[in-house]
DNA sequence: CGGTGAGTGGGTCAGATGACCCAGTTGCGT
DNA sequence: ACGCAACTGGGTCATCTGACCCACTCACCG
């Protein structure tokens, strides 16, 4: 093995660990399995990390920071907030379907954190991060469709996080695309019901329901790209043809 | 140890296993830990089960069948569907708060099933069971408040399951009661939006929104009572004084 | 009331795993 | 060039774990 600076070695081990966890679960992420995945010798492991526990803790923290919004849905003209939200959620569902192991790994890591003495706080931080991402996306989505949230943004964000979690968990359990699709629609409907038309900020105001407007972004959902393997956020395959990004 | 018939021994081991898993996770449920929890000798384990795997498989299946609705909310006069649903969800939240380890154990068992070769099907069955329970409760709730679901019952049930999962997961991560409460309210709001006033079935019909009516049951949520420890469904402490059950 | 086999107890065994050590080697600064 | 310390390779060690064995004993049948 080439001579690597400790930092880089740690990074590679973290990435390898995530890969192993995706494949075999946290329990399967033994020092040997990780080291093997990274193509290193066992000694290198303990040179980079004091213990397996340290690696796991680092991984959890790492994953939190790297969590990204994978829902950047391309703009679509004259779309309502609900439609925009739905597309975003379906987009999220797609990423789960494409890499179920990754999503499972995320859930497992969260659970590991919740159950491990020093890491309970990290699980909370993880959800905090999810909510923050959700909030950003929801804010943008509302703005682009000329809507405003009727309740505090972070409150709506928490709801979105709960919905995506439930959605992902259910799909992971039964892999029923149809059902998941319907639940995504429901989620979009439910969330948009928490908004009102416009607020008068932009310029116009109308009493009716969500009014079309130049759209663009979309709702979020969490998914942590492994420290290395596979590109985090992809270009966003348009669910429907829309104006080119 | 008293001389026990195999069946009883298996039952006790399953109960002990669930207890251990609640405390230490699936990974911590070693044959020795389980046997210890049950106050038996290791040999008794392999007398009752061919392997640890067999016990775990049995436990997953077991837990599915024993999943119960813990949301039987007592009746409350003149309550809307939304209110009824909210109370039920809050009731569920209470059970999670009271025994977080149990809920965590449920999630972990599901994950174990999803990842274990022969058990993937069980995870799907588990969710099927959750939906069935949700469906029953939703049907009752709608009926008692003179409402009807606008979509297929099992579709709405899937949404409820997703919502409770998301709700529980979020609470387990950050233990934020306020936030969980708000999300529960949101869930109730969102679900009741999927219903319409009445259908004309009972007798009356009115265009307005959910009309009061004799209420009684409530929404569900899943929680598997351990094979033995602690009574599964409790008497349902009235969140509000209502007619005696 | 004696036999006997279901059920029990106290081991053993092989394999996996986390931690760690020590003798090298080799990149890099000087 | 040269030396040193950062880094690597190839072990070892104590534990834990799942599986399993075999002699014993006691409850119940005949």
Q: Can you tell me the mean pLDDT for B113-139?
A: 93
pLDDT at A198 (0 to 100): 77
Model confidence at B65: pLDDT above 50: yes
**Does residue A105 lie within any of the structural domains?**
yes
Burial of B123 (0-12, 13-18, 19+ CB in 10 A): buried
Same structural domain for residues A33 and A22? yes
Same structural domain for residues A50 and A72? no
Same structural domain for residues B83 and B59? no
Same structural domain for residues B139 and B88? yes
pLDDT at B69 (0 to 100): 67
Q: Record the tokens describing residue A88, joined without a space.
A: 């975003």
Alpha helix ranges (H) inside chain A:
6-28, 31-37, 42-48, 52-66, 81-98, 100-115, 120-144, 153-174, 177-192
Mean pLDDT of chain B: 83
Q: Can you tell me the mean pLDDT for A190-213?
A: 63
**Does residue B223 lie within any of the structural domains?**
no
pLDDT at B44 (0 to 100): 92
Q: For chain A, what percent of residues have pLDDT higher than 70? A: 78
Of A68, A101, A73, whose CA–CA distance to A184 is shortest?
A73
CA dist., res. B91 & res. A16, Å (int): 42
Q: Output the DSSP codes for A6-56.
A: HHHHHHHHHHHHHHHHHHHHHHH--HHHHHHHTT--HHHHHHH-S-HHHHH
Same structural domain for residues A37 and A114? no
Q: Find the closest chain B residue to A23 by CA distance.
A: B115
Cβ within 8 Å of A, B 226-245: none
Strand C close residues, chain B 22-41, CB < 7 angstroms: 40-41
Rg (CA), chain A: 20
Q: Can you tell me the mean pLDDT for B57-69?
A: 85
Q: Can you tell me the mean pLDDT for B108-116?
A: 95
- CATH number of domain containing B38: 1.10.10.60
- What positions of strand D are covered by protein, i.e. any atom < 7 Å from a CB? 6-12, 16-22, 26-27
Q: Directed axis angle between helix A177-192 and helix A81-98, to 10°?
A: 150
Which chain A residues are Cβ-neighbours of B184 within 8 angstroms? Answer: none
Same structural domain for residues A181 and A153? yes
pLDDT at B200 (0 to 100): 60
| Boundary residue ending a domain (B65, B95, B115) | B65
Can you count the helices (H) and strands (E) in chain B?
9, 2
**Does residue B220 lie within any of the structural domains?**
no
Q: Record the tokens describing residue A234, joined without a space.
A: 């992809």
| Boundary residue ending a domain (A165, A181, A196) | A196
pLDDT at B124 (0 to 100): 95
Same structural domain for residues B30 and B139? no
pLDDT at A214 (0 to 100): 39
Q: Directed axis angle between helix B120-144 and helix B52-66, to 10°?
A: 10
Work out the end-to-end distance of chain B between its first and last CA atoms, rounded to an integer number of angstroms: 43
pLDDT at A233 (0 to 100): 33
A51 touches strand C (CB under 7 A): yes
CA dist., res. A81 & res. A192, Å (int): 6
- CATH number of domain containing A90: 1.10.357
Contact between A128 and B174 using a beta-carbon 8 Å cutoff: yes
Model confidence at A82: pLDDT above 90: yes
Same structural domain for residues A47 and A83? no
Q: What is the ipTM of this complex?
A: 0.83
Containing structural domain, residue B192? 72-196
Widest distance between CA atoms in chain A: 68
Burial of A238 (0-12, 13-18, 19+ CB in 10 A): middle
Q: Are strands B195-196 and B148-149 parallel, antiparallel or unpaired?
A: antiparallel
Quick: pLDDT tens for B204-216.
Answer: 444 444 444 433 3
Quick: pLDDT tens for A110-144.
Answer: 999 999 988 999 999 999 999 999 999 999 999 99
Same structural domain for residues B125 and B93? yes
Same structural domain for residues A176 and A106? yes
């Amino acid at each position: 093995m080439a001579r690597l600076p400790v930092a880089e070695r740690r990074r590679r081990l973290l990435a390898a660990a995530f890969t192993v966890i995706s494949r075999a679960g946290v329990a399967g992420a033994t020092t040997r399995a990780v080291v093997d995945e990274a193509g290193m010798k066992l000694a290198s492991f303990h040179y980079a990390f004091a213990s397996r526990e340290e690696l796991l803790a680092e991984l959890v923290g790492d994953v939190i920071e790297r969590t990204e919004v994978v829902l950047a849905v391309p703009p679509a003209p004259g779309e309502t907030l609900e439609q925009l939200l739905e597309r975003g959620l379906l987009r999220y569902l797609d990423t789960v379907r494409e890499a179920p192991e990754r999503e499972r790994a995320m859930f497992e890591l969260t659970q590991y954190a919740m159950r491990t003495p020093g890491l309970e706080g990290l699980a909370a931080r993880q959800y905090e991060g999810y909510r923050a991402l959700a909030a950003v996306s929801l804010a943008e989505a509302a703005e682009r469709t000329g809507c405003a949230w009727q309740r505090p943004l972070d409150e709506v964000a928490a709801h979105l996080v709960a919905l995506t979690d439930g959605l992902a968990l259910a799909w992971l359990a039964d892999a029923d695309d149809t059902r998941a699709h319907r639940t995504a629609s429901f989620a979009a409907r439910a969330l948009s019901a928490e908004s009102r038309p416009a607020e008068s900020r932009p310029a116009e105001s109308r009493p009716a329901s969500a009014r079309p407007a130049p759209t663009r972004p979309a709702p979020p959902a969490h998914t942590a790209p492994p420290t290395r393997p596979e590109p985090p956020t992809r270009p966003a395959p348009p669910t429907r043809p829309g104006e080119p990004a």
